[in-house]
Amino acid sequence: MPELPEVQRAVNLIKRVGLGKRITRVETVEDALVFAGVTHSEFAQQLEDRKITNVHRYGKQFYIELDGKGKLPVLHFGMTGMLQVRGETPFLYKEGPSKKNHSDWPPRFMKFILHLAHEPNSNTQDSSITELAFTDPRRLGRIRLLSSPMTEPPISSLGFDPILSMPSLEDFSTMVLKRSCPIKALLLDQSFSAGVGNWVADEILYHARIHPEQRCNTLTTEQVQNLHHQTKHVCETAVAVDADDSKFPEDWLFKHRWGKGKKEKPSLKLPNGNLASIKWITVGGRTSAYVEELQKNTGRSLGRKRERKTKEEDEGESDLTPISDEEEAPRPKRSRK
């Protein structure tokens, strides 16, 4: 679920509680799946006694810049990863694990905890320790250590970031129209648009008035222009309110899309004041919400029978893996450094 806006919120959180502070201790748990290319103990050794100087995001990946020699932690939330500060109510995703008691510490499914302290010679007299935890119930997140995060995979293999590196309309048009896959599948492809996930893609397509199944190479000039504008606009709007969905505009699909299989009817209204008909289909391996009256498939339809997958659809990202909520990892033994 964490997409570009939620990841930016995590970056903002680290900056708020950790910028300029030193990592005095690192607690980790062994998890050879989430810790990628590094052991949990090596991760702790690399971070200990280094100061946080900055935090950066690209797409759904983010990394912490540290002083001194050594590699930098590069983090990816996957489907259910999140950050939690001890003593603060955590930010919970709209779709995620059950909303259990999050006051316990260390939090369940913790992978590491950073102990952060002000420098002894800093202006503040605050000697308290801030504890920042990375948790991941479904273990689809990844924790890496890299020397140059922006020039190494996974970030170096990503496409444009809608906020940091949005291409020109001309380049964007070329990139879209040369594809034959459904537009929703293309938006989900991280080698095309880094950071766009399921709800962001649906929001973009809703405002651009494009059906999620429409083939890329059938889009009109106007549709491509709308798509280009909304890809950047939706991400910027969500980031501007720190991914707080209660502050999203009332006419956003996000505010009304969660009623699938429920008795209550969505309250989203059409421009003429009538209630919108929100429908759900599967595109690019994900459940896609769209408004029937406003998003017409003006290109070649996929029809009822599933057509052969295109290369773009096959090259999905790891967080599309369907895993049930019951497949949660057992609580491993903690390690202290």
Catalytic sites, residue numbers = 2-3, 60
- Tally: H helices and E strands in the chain: 7, 11
* DSSP 8-class letter at 51: B
Query: How far is residue 325's CA from residue 250's CA, in Å, rounded to a whole number?
Result: 30
User: What phi, psi does 318 have (nearest 5°)?
Assistant: -65, -30
Locate 242 and state its tokens.
């720190």
Whole-angstrom distance, CA of residue 27 vs CA of residue 18: 16
Q: Tell me the C-alpha distance between 74 and 61, whole Å.
A: 7
> Cα–Cα distance between 203 and 209 in angstroms, integer?
10
For 48, counting Cβ atoms within 10 Å of its Cβ (0-12 exposed, 13-18 middle, 19+ buried), the class is middle
Say if residues 102 and 109 touch (Cβ distance below 8 Å). no
Separation of alpha carbons 108 and 213, rounded Å = 39
SS3 state at 214: coil
Report how far residue 42's alpha carbon sits from residue 143's, in angstroms, rounded to the nearest whole number.
Answer: 12
Tokens of 195: 């950071």
CA distance 147 to 133: 23
- Order of strands, sheet of 110-117, starting from the edge strand that comes earlier in the sequence: 82-85, 130-135, 110-117, 22-29, 334-336
